[in-house]
Chains A and B, each alone.
Chain A
Amino acid sequence: QKEVEQNSGPLSVPEGAIASLNCTYSDRVSQSFFWYRQYSGKSPELIMSIYSNGDKEDGRFTAQLNKASQYVSLLIRDSQPSDSATYLCAVNVTGGSNYKLTFGKGTLLTVNP
């Protein structure tokens, strides 16, 4: 059973702080890792992808991947109230033309003004 685990939260941070979201996965052959943001009642919106060990930065967002520890994280710097949402970690075990995503339950982030 391929699992993706996230702390469901809620995670509450003050405006301007760094929010740190974590995710672990069970399948060692996982190749691709994604963070999606989901506002209440809306669809998942892609924030970042990461494929190699280390850090990947995009604006205020930094994704970190450690395949040995089967761990991926998302840092949000200078958090804004508009960042308040559920953050979904998704993992893709690629094989042939199969690219299904396995999602975690998500972490609810609240940024307080």
Chain B
Amino acid sequence: EPEVTQTPSHQVTQMGQEVILRCVPISNHLYFYWYRQILGQKVEFLVSFYNNEISEKSEIFDDQFSVERPDGSNFTLKIRSTKLEDSAMYFCASSGLADPDTQYFGPGTRLTVL
């Protein structure tokens, strides 16, 4: 069964450093998303991406964040200068054209900012 994959599974970085989280969505999906979940809190929407542009972004997704689809398979989230409060699980999700409402989540990347 097709699934969303994410790398790395765990990323440790120093405050102020740049990180790139990578995702490979389900192959025939066209809608891509990033969510985050701070430990013990709810899953929060960050950004949605369709047709090579951002569809919507949340207040969390400030100028320090960016997304890119550098090729036909990868979807990345970059945090330019990480803060302690960026420590969280970051989930990539994707959905298909036939059923764009239904989103499938990847296993997540645990980001730890020291």
Contacts and interface: CB of A to CB of B under 8 A. Distances in A.
Interface in A73-113: 88, 90, 92, 94, 96-106
Contact of B45 (A32, A46, A96, A101): A101
A96 B31 CA distance: 12
Interface stretch (B12-20, B68-76, B100-108): B100-108
Interface stretch (A16-24, A37-45, A52-60, A61-69): A37-45
Contacts of A88: 42-43
Contacts of A43: 89, 91, 105-108
Contacts of B41: 105
Nearest to B107: A43
B95 interface: yes
A104 B41 CA distance: 9
A77 B31 CA distance: 33
A32 B43 CA distance: 17
A44 B101 contact: no
B102 A100 contact: no
B87 interface: no
Contacts of A90: 43
Given A97-B31, A98-B48, A103-B42, A45 B105 contact: yes
A101 B33 CA distance: 10
A100 B33 contact: yes
Contacts of B89: 43
B42 A96 contact: no
Interface in B70-114: 89, 91, 95, 100-108
Interface of B: 31, 33, 35, 41-45, 48, 50-51, 55-56, 58, 89, 91, 95, 100-108
Given A97-B100, A98-B48, 4 more contacts: A42-B108, A49-B102, A97-B48, A103-B42
Interface of A: 31-32, 34, 36, 42-46, 49, 51, 88, 90, 92, 94, 96-106
- The 6 A-B pairs with the shortest beta carbon distances in the complex, nearest first, are A103-B43, A32-B101, A43-B105, A100-B45, A98-B56, A97-B50
